């Protein structure tokens, strides 16, 4: 099999697993883009041949693909990175490049106690729910630095404790919003059940905010912690991206292999 040149939109645990899988099983040259240096280091550690550690504009992605010999574009960004997935679909059509969207499956709630979950359609909606129904106690925000602004439109910053990657970009977002250093909870990967319970107790939280990001995002541990501490968990529903063709979506490495077989082995 000849070498395949693959452009990966990464920055997630899914993307590092894909990189490792591709390098172990295929003859590939991989360029991975991430929005942070931290994500870039993880991609390099997984085996990516090249990385770009900053957000890219649509025109930049098009230029890179058009000026290189990439065979495939894989979007392995977060399920809530709606804009970049819309962009990646558009880029694949403009550049006429094979496209795969790797999307972690949604959580199966069949055997999970969901009694403490309150669903919200957006982060601004979550802030409104908290303002109305949870006027006391602190708020643990487990949904990333990019979503803080919408929550804070309706809740007091004095009650707000975000768990974020302690990287310059995220710290800057906190500073711009007025979130003080002693409210920032440094994050390294998904928290365990015990860690979540400890945070609820330490910060006297009455409510938590999370995304429906799938099992890999530690959602089950957050649900279990909310149940054990008898507090509410506001969960933002995963966006439906209309531009995506369902035939381009894979949810695991076996499905990815099937797609690759059809693309490169026929």
Average pLDDT over residues 8-25: 94
Average pLDDT over residues 24-41: 93
Q: pLDDT tens-digit profile of 71-103?
A: 999 999 988 888 899 999 999 999 999 999 998
The neighbour count for residue 182, using CB atoms within 10 Å, is 7
**pTM of the predicted model, to two decimals?**
0.74
Separation CA 164–CA 145 (nearest Å)? 6
Give the pLDDT of residue 263. 82
Give the pLDDT of residue 1. 62
Q: Please, what sign has the CA dihedral across residues 206, 211, 212, 218?
A: negative
Give the pLDDT of residue 239. 79
Question: What is the CB-side half-sphere exposure of residue 97 using CA atoms within 13 A?
Answer: 30
pLDDT category at 226 given cuts 50, 70, 90 is very high
Separation CA 45–CA 215 (nearest Å)? 23
pLDDT score of 106 more than 90: no
Q: Please, what sign has the CA dihedral across residues 63, 68, 74, 78?
A: negative
Give the pLDDT of residue 88. 95
Q: pLDDT tens-digit profile of 111-156?
A: 889 899 999 999 999 999 999 999 999 999 999 888 999 999 999 9
Q: pLDDT tens-digit profile of 40-73?
A: 999 999 999 999 999 999 999 999 999 998 999 9
pLDDT score of 189 more than 80: no
pLDDT category at 165 given cuts 50, 70, 90 is confident
pLDDT category at 264 given cuts 50, 70, 90 is confident
pLDDT score of 35 more than 60: yes
- Which domains occur in the chain, in start order? 4-105+240-264 (3.40.50.720), 117-236 (3.40.50)
Q: Of the ranges 127-131, 183-187, 213-217, which one carries the lowest mean pLDDT score?
A: 213-217
Q: What are phi and psi of 98, to 5 degrees?
A: -60, 145
Give the pLDDT of residue 216. 66
DSSP reduced 3-state for 172: helix
Give the pLDDT of residue 191. 84
Give the pLDDT of residue 69. 87
Integer angstrom CA distances of residue 151 from 55, 129, 146, 208, 211: 23, 10, 10, 12, 13
pLDDT score of 219 more than 60: yes
Give the pLDDT of residue 187. 82
Give the pLDDT of residue 245. 87
Integer angstrom CA distances of residue 234 from 21, 82, 139, 140, 144: 34, 20, 10, 10, 14
Give the pLDDT of residue 215. 66
């Amino acid at each position: 099999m000849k070498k395949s040149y693959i452009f990966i939109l990464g920055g997630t645990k899914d993307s590092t697993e894909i990189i490792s899988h591709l390098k172990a099983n295929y003859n590939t040259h991989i360029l991975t883009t991430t929005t942070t240096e931290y994500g870039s280091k993880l991609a390099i550690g997984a085996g990516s041949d090249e990385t770009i550690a900053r957000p890219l504009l649509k025109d930049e992605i098009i230029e890179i693909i058009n000026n290189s010999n990439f065979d495939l574009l894989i979007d392995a960004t977060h399920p809530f990175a709606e804009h970049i997935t819309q962009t990646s679909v558009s880029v694949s059509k403009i550049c006429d490049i094979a496209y795969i969207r790797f999307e972690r499956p949604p959580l199966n709630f069949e055997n999970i106690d969901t009694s403490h979950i309150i669903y919200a359609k957006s982060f601004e909606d979550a802030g409104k729910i908290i303002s109305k129904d949870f006027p006391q106690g602190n708020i643990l925000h487990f949904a990333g630095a990019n979503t803080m602004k919408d929550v804070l439109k309706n809740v007091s910053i004095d009650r707000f404790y975000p768990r974020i990657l302690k990287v310059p970009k995220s710290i800057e977002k906190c500073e711009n919003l007025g979130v003080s250093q002693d409210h920032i909870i440094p994050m390294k990967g998904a928290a365990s059940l015990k860690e979540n319970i400890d945070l609820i107790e330490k910060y006297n939280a009455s409510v938590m905010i999370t995304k429906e990001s799938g099992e890999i995002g530690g959602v089950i541990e957050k649900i279990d912690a909310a149940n054990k501490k008898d507090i509410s968990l506001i969960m933002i529903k995963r966006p439906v991206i209309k531009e995506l063709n369902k035939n381009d979506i894979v949810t695991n490495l076996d499905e990815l292999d099937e797609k690759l077989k059809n693309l490169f082995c026929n």
